[in-house]
Amino acid sequence: MDDIKHILSIDQFDRIGIEEIFKLSATLEKETNAGDYLQGKILATLFFEPSTRTRLSFEAAFIKLGGQILSVENAFDNSSNKKGEPASECAKTISNYADFIVFRHPEGNSASEVAKVANCPIINAGSGSSEHPTQAILDLYTIWKEKGQIDGLKICIIGDLKHARTINSLKKALANFDVELFELDNFSGDMHELPEGTIEKCDVIYMTRNQIERHGNVALNIKFALGHGHDLKLKEKAIVLHPLPRGYEIDPSFDADPRARYWAQVKNGIAVRQALILYLAGYIKL
């Protein structure tokens, strides 16, 4: 299915493409009458892993653009995968009923494999530890909106560096911009340190939870956290982002801090996913 456009990896997007998505997302955020774009179109979500934000924000985004939804969540149990049908054949089947498929699966190359057999665009909504490209674009969009630009920023990623697909995709996306990037593994057990005062100088702190579902280790010592009274010291104008769901690393009491911007990040998911769908539908070229 070589002539069908998909969103499988953040590698597909260069800086110009990412900035086009920002512009369209910003326009869509102000749009009060976007309900005509996708009338008569169907988006299917096929999720073999749990999700709150990605599945439902794609569905909300599509409905707001005038389209309709087919939804399979917990697809290991609720699709014919339970009867032995490969995930790729579930998706191939659904691609005869839907115009777009948003697909999440625990295997790293799953979305790419599905794209080889499906008759419609596949959007990778998270493939194992490897990629979560639409999350990365909404993370960048949030930084761009909050800070006015991405170039020149100091960004520190603190999380499960080996297993968080959001981090993998975000790091690749940030390579398109002139940023200073620092990384701290909060869950590896062999945490390395950054030079004294590094975090206090950062403009963006991006945290993730321990990806227990990838390695099963719940007992790791979490060194860097917010809202527990022994917090990281942050710059006054820093922003804190998190793809959510969160774990111990950000206590809900930190939500009242003006630097906590992860709930704004959640909200941005609608406009960014609308823009990405409209790109696949041919409304913009990247």
Closer Cβ to ligand CP, 154 or 172, answer by number: 172
Q: Which of 54, 142, 166, 208 is catalytic?
A: 54
Catalytic annotation present for 165: no
Copy the structure tokens of residue 222: 């979490």
Question: Which residue in the set 12, 27, 39, 52 belongs to the binding site for ligand CP (CB under 6 A)?
Answer: 52
Q: Which of 41, 53, 201, 259 is catalytic?
A: 53
Nearest partner of 47 among 106, 96, 116, 6, judged by Cα: 106
Q: Kindly give, in sequence order, each residue whose CB lies less than 8 Å from that of residue 143, ignoring residues fewer than 6 positions away.
A: 150, 153, 155, 204, 239, 241
* Distance separating alpha carbons of residues 194 and 197, to the nearest angstrom: 8
* Distance separating alpha carbons of residues 76 and 222, to the nearest angstrom: 32
Question: Which residue in the set 53, 154, 162, 259 belongs to the binding site for ligand CP (CB under 6 A)?
Answer: 53
Q: Which of 64, 92, 104, 242 is catalytic?
A: 104
* Distance separating alpha carbons of residues 45 and 200, to the nearest angstrom: 40
Q: How far is the CB of 54 from ligand CP (least distance, A)?
A: 3
* Distance separating alpha carbons of residues 286 and 273, to the nearest angstrom: 15
107-146 residues in contact with ligand CP (CB under 6 A) are: 126, 132, 135
Among the listed ranges 11-19, 24-32, 144-152, 243-251, the one in contact with ligand CP (CB under 6 A) is 243-251
Catalytic annotation present for 134: no
Catalytic annotation present for 104: yes
Calculate the alpha carbon distances from 19 to 13, 122, 138, 266 in Å.
10, 22, 11, 19
Q: How far is the CB of 150 from ligand CP (least distance, A)?
A: 20
**Number of residues counted as binding ligand CP (CB under 6 A):** 10
Binding to ligand CP by residue 243, rule CB under 6 A? yes
* Distance separating alpha carbons of residues 139 and 175, to the nearest angstrom: 14
Query: CA-based angle 139:261:222, to the nearest 5?
Result: 85
Catalytic annotation present for 259: no
22-51 residues in contact with ligand CP (CB under 6 A) are: 51
Strand order of the β-sheet with 204-207 is 180-185, 154-159, 204-207, 239-241
Catalytic annotation present for 53: yes
Closer Cβ to ligand CP, 26 or 244, answer by number: 244
Q: Which of 105, 132, 209, 273 is catalytic?
A: 132
* Catalytic residue numbers, as ranges: 53-54, 83, 104, 132
- Positions touching ligand CP (CB under 6 A) are 51-54, 126, 132, 135, 243-245
